[in-house]
Amino acid sequence: MASDTRKPLSIYFLTLVPFPTGLAQTNRLISIARGLIKADNTVNVICLKPTETGQSIKNTTIQGVYEGIAYQYPAGTTVRNRNPIVRFYHYLSGCYRTSGILIRQSRKNKIDFLFIGVVPLFVYIWFYLLCKALDIKYLQERSEYPFIKERKSFLDPLLLKVYLGLVCKFFDGFLVITKKLRDYFTPHLRTNCPIFHLPILVEPERFNITPSPSPVQYLAYCGSMQGNKDGVPDLIEAFSLIHNKYPDLKLYLIGSTQFNGFHELQEKISRLNAGDNIVFTGVSGRDELPLLLAGAKILLLARPESKQAEGGFPTKLGEYLATGKPVLVTQVGEIADYLQDGDNAFIVRPGDPEQFAEKMKYILEHYDKALEVGLRGQYLAQTQFNFAYQGEVLYNWLSHLKKNNG
């Protein structure tokens, strides 16, 4: 709990991710904001442009309050227009109206900090100048290396150079999810710019549930199935090696199937004769997901080695651990800094479906002991990764930053 003697902070987040319903980035934003609110600060989220596409539109209101977090879409709509000219207009109008919101709020009560997500160069410059004019501390939070993406542009090397050489100098403070990112960004920041390591966050009360008994026994993965970021092809192959021994066991793959390449996953499953045992559930909402994860016998993540895995950290891992169920992951990035095989999780080397399959069999055959491991993992989620605990630590860091920089 925050002390009555200290001053609450006014904090704004500018983002391009959907809010309040979205995927991993949205959940991390919610956890950060809720942690700061728990420490008695005020938090506002502004979506700079419409975020909703396709047939299933999750966010329909242009402003509201979610879990104590005030949010708004200043462009006046949450839905992206099909016309690229209209989309660009919405982006510009969203930035322009956001500027007006910040100016008006600063005249009423001082805004202490403005966090900005990953945005185009002109947006970084726009809000940097505004923050300088309004005396607002300008910060960024990063969860992966910049310009790590499957479809690369010939402009990416130039844009990376501009980002590291120019944009990073704009910020008064920097948040990162791993120590690798801290080491990567530190040489590019201003000499007096502090950098804060904020690990994955969990809201334990979301998982304080007892799922109803299910007639279906299943293992589960949740996240992106596009490409090989999380090793879903390896996971499918590993499951195919054990499904004949456990014919009633299902593998639930939770996440969107609306992407190029989904048919390749389906073809792989067909070749491995595992189609009857693998279920694509589609996207699960923030309120439904805890029940789906908690109902699984094992929660799985077969992430391969990659530059993205090296610098990032899977936020879903915190949610997995919070269920108290056995968690099986690959040893990539900084996972081994928190998890030990057979202690609070089960860990195998990446890129080895056969070893992954063997470990799944071991867990199923020693399930009572595996549940004890799961409970120790849950304790980690409830303590070190707890959003309220980390929110208090972040508040203290921000207060120190404000005090030292005036």
What does the pLDDT look like over 339-365, one tens digit per residue?
A: 999 999 999 999 999 999 999 999 999
Residue 271 lies in a domain: yes
Is 186 found in the same domain as 226?
no
Rounded to whole angstroms, the Cα distance separating 27 from 24 reads 5
- Give tens-digit pLDDT for 180-232: 999 999 999 999 899 999 999 999 999 988 887 778 999 999 999 988 889 99
Res 151 pLDDT > 70: no
pLDDT at residue 6, as a whole number: 79
Burial 39-75 (b: 16+ CB within 10 A, else e): bbbbbbbbbbbbbbeeeeebbeeeeeebeebebbbbb
264 Cβ neighbours under 8 A, 6+ residues apart: none
Residue 2 lies in a domain: no
User: And the tokens for 161?
Assistant: 């150079």
Most confident of the ranges 175-179, 258-262, 271-275: 175-179
Asked whether 223 and 339 are in contact (CB, 8 A), the reply is no
Residue 50 lies in a domain: yes
Res 285 pLDDT > 90: no
Is 396 found in the same domain as 338?
no
Rounded to whole angstroms, the Cα distance separating 63 from 61 reads 6
Is 360 found in the same domain as 216?
yes
Residue 233 lies in a domain: yes
Is 276 found in the same domain as 196?
no
pLDDT at residue 301, as a whole number: 98
Res 2 pLDDT > 50: no
Is 304 found in the same domain as 257?
yes
Rounded to whole angstroms, the Cα distance separating 316 from 254 reads 12
pLDDT at residue 3, as a whole number: 45
Is 147 found in the same domain as 258?
no
Is 157 found in the same domain as 136?
yes
Is pLDDT larger for residue 54 or for residue 191?
191
3-state helix, strand, coil in the chain (%, to 5): 40, 15, 40
Q: What is the CATH number of the domain that holds 103?
A: 3.40.50.2000
Residue 3 lies in a domain: no
Distances (CA, A) of 160 to 266, 272, 301, 366: 36, 41, 30, 48
Is 357 found in the same domain as 238?
yes
Is 115 found in the same domain as 188?
yes
Residue 1 lies in a domain: no
Number of domains in the chain: 2
pLDDT at residue 1, as a whole number: 46
Rounded to whole angstroms, the Cα distance separating 360 from 301 reads 12
Domain range for 341: 204-382
Asked whether 324 and 378 are in contact (CB, 8 A), the reply is yes
Give percent above pLDDT 90 in the chain.
84
Confidence of residue 406 (pLDDT cuts 50, 70, 90): low
Residue 5 lies in a domain: no
Least Cα distance to 169 among 199, 198, 148, 191 occurs for 191
CA angle 279, 285, 286 (to 5 degrees): 125
Is 376 found in the same domain as 249?
yes
- Give tens-digit pLDDT for 89-124: 999 999 999 999 999 999 999 999 999 999 999 999
Is 233 found in the same domain as 178?
no
Is 238 found in the same domain as 170?
no
Rounded to whole angstroms, the Cα distance separating 205 from 2 reads 20
pTM of the model: 0.93
- Mean pLDDT, the chain, as a whole number? 94
User: And the tokens for 364?
Assistant: 């199923």
